[in-house]
Chains A and B, each alone.
Chain A
Amino acid sequence: MISKVVANADIAIADIPDNAILMVGGFGLSGIPENCISALLKKGVKGLTCISNNAGVADFGLGLLLQQHQIKKMISSYVGENEEFERQLLSGVLEVELIPQGTLAERIRAGGAGIPAFFTPAGVGTEVQEGKELREFNGKMYLMEHWLRSDFSLVKAWKGDTQGNLIYKGTSRNFNPMMAAAGKITIAEVEELVPAGELDANFIHTPGVYVHRIFQGAKYEKRIENRTTR
């Protein structure tokens, strides 16, 4: 079997071309693939479409790629914490598709599960409904949403093994497992990479079948966006 393990982020993302459709894991700054984002910044790929719940902050996460104008389109549910994003959006240089968070999660899940479309009540009677098929089930209205799939999914886990099996920690799991499954090529970066057999098979969140490349991130800043204490 060909090894999935690659040496670093630069090698892992080396073949991501301009105009690629990416999924990028994380909620806020929690569980984002920091090392892959840095490598994309260094490589300078342009015209990216990024499917990610948020857009980072001005100087961290996807905000870094926005600053360098590497992103053409964002598909997200909430982008409120990034002034650079808002500026680019209002000035028309950035294309944005805002999607209800549960619909975004389910569209990605559907993409990874081989389900081309499904019906959800989220957005019925709002502008989200525009252009979508409506149907009534058990007396309630639902609208049809399609799956989302990516050319490359960039996910971040706590631990991973050489087979590509992944375990996430805390609330940094968020969108990562569905994105891992929905990528044509999935690149996983982990805080700790261990030999196959060291992770308890009972507690794997993402089975290795979804992961094509895996590496241990060189360093993790794990910045906190909104530090709150008692």
Chain B
Amino acid sequence: MGLDKYGIAKRIAQEVKSGYYVNLGIGIPTLVANYIPPEKQVILQSENGLLGMGPFPEKGEEDPDMINAGKQTITALKGAALFDSAESFAMIRSGKINLTILGAMEVSDTGDIANWKIPGKMVKGMGGAMDLVASANNIIVAMQHKSKEGESKLLHACTLPLTGIKCVKKIVTDLAVLEVMQEGGFKLVERAPGVSVEEIKLATEGRLWVPEQVPEMVL
């Protein structure tokens, strides 16, 4: 039960407001672009040096000099701008990017996030994630509620090396939409279609606050 990755992306797309500059991480966040309606004028930033990222190119039109942060071939929309990596992170650090959407391995109930390293197992590096989470005003995490091993990824405290502290505002999982409360704890905001509050409680290790009414997501 619960949403698939496309469902998660579709729900997150509702959080994107017209006029936003948005940075999308690798994985589910990349899919969000497919569900932003064209009437919302949203400009996508790719941290390797592009504002105004467009869709993948048509077959035969791939350009090795036009890639996104996931090294995928992409296009630039009309009105796009190109720049170097220092400039790219200058706009990120100075808070010009309105919304950052990224994946996570763990999120704590105080808004800490871990998504770059599993000691002894995975040593890929943090890429731009630490810069993004340290500076973004508005961070939404897209992830599965539980790991493949069935462990909760919404914890009281992260167990993996941190990417950033007290930065996550909202989490959209296959089961629910949750907000990180100022005073700590996850607030259950919405349930995925057909998912009960009880299921979400069982899948959440961190402190969870459940209001009297928890509506179902409207997708």
Q: Which residue of B lies closest to A106 (CB)?
A: B86
Report yes or no: B124 in contact with A27, Cβ–Cβ below 8 A: no
Within 8 Å by CB of B85, from A29, A53, A125, A127, lies A53
Additional A-B contact list (16), CB under 8 Å, known A79-B123, A171-B48: A28-B67, A30-B65, A78-B127, A96-B123, A101-B89, A102-B128, A106-B89, A122-B131, A125-B166, A126-B163, A170-B65, A173-B82, A178-B85, A178-B86, A224-B73, A229-B58
Q: Which of B62-94 contact A (CB under 8 A)?
A: 62-74, 76, 82-86, 88-90, 92-93
Q: Give chain B's interface secondary structure class.
A: loop
B164 contacts the other chain (CB 8 A):
yes
Known interface pairs A122-B134, A173-B83; A227-B62 also in contact (CB < 8 Å): yes
Q: Which residue of A lies closest to B163 (CB)?
A: A126
A138 contacts the other chain (CB 8 A):
no
Hey, what's the 0/1 contact readout for A67-100 against B, CB within 8 Å counting as 1? 0000000001111110000100110000010101
Report, nearest first, the 10 A-B pairs whose CB atoms are least far apart. Answer: A102-B89, A102-B131, A80-B124, A170-B65, A125-B165, A100-B130, A28-B71, A121-B134, A78-B127, A101-B128
B90 to chain A, nearest CB (A): 8
A117 contacts the other chain (CB 8 A):
no
A219 contacts the other chain (CB 8 A):
no
| Chain B positions within 8 Å of A77 at CB level | 125-128
Report yes or no: A228 in contact with B72, Cβ–Cβ below 8 A: yes
Report yes or no: B85 in contact with A98, Cβ–Cβ below 8 A: no
| Chain B positions within 8 Å of A128 at CB level | 126, 130
Report yes or no: B86 in contact with A108, Cβ–Cβ below 8 A: yes
B21 to chain A, nearest CB (A): 16
In the bound complex, CA of A96 to CA of B112 (Å): 25
| Chain B positions within 8 Å of A127 at CB level | 161-162
Report yes or no: B59 in contact with A230, Cβ–Cβ below 8 A: yes
| Chain A positions within 8 Å of B88 at CB level | 102, 105
| Chain A positions within 8 Å of B62 at CB level | 224, 227-229
| Chain A positions within 8 Å of B131 at CB level | 100-103, 120, 122
Within 8 Å by CB of B84, from A29, A76, A175, lies A175
A42 contacts the other chain (CB 8 A):
no
Within 8 Å by CB of B93, from A98, A102, A173, A225, lies A102
User: How many residues of chain B are within 8 Å of chain A by beta carbon?
Assistant: 53
| Chain A positions within 8 Å of B47 at CB level | 101-102
| Chain B positions within 8 Å of A31 at CB level | 65
Stretch at the interface among B49-57, B179-187, B188-196, B204-212: B49-57
In the bound complex, CA of A80 to CA of B125 (Å): 7
In the bound complex, CA of A175 to CA of B128 (Å): 13
A226 contacts the other chain (CB 8 A):
yes
| Chain A positions within 8 Å of B63 at CB level | 170
B9 to chain A, nearest CB (A): 16
26 contacts between A and B (CB under 8 A): A27-B49, A30-B65, A53-B85, A77-B126, A78-B124, A80-B124, A90-B123, A100-B127, A101-B128, A101-B130, A102-B131, A105-B85, A120-B93, A123-B130, A125-B162, A126-B164, A171-B48, A173-B82, A174-B48, A174-B85, A178-B85, A178-B86, A205-B84, A224-B64, A229-B56, A229-B62
In the bound complex, CA of A121 to CA of B69 (Å): 21
A132 contacts the other chain (CB 8 A):
no
Report yes or no: B64 in contact with A126, Cβ–Cβ below 8 A: no
Report yes or no: B85 in contact with A175, Cβ–Cβ below 8 A: yes
Interface-central residue, B58, B63, B86, B90, by most chain A CB under 10 Å: B86
A43 to chain B, nearest CB (A): 26
A113 to chain B, nearest CB (A): 9
Within 8 Å by CB of A222, from B55, B65, B82, B93, lies B65
B173 contacts the other chain (CB 8 A):
no
Report yes or no: A174 in contact with B84, Cβ–Cβ below 8 A: yes
| Chain A positions within 8 Å of B134 at CB level | 120-124
| Chain B positions within 8 Å of A158 at CB level | 65
B144 contacts the other chain (CB 8 A):
no
Report yes or no: B73 in contact with A230, Cβ–Cβ below 8 A: no
Known interface pairs A77-B128, A121-B134; A226-B50 also in contact (CB < 8 Å): no
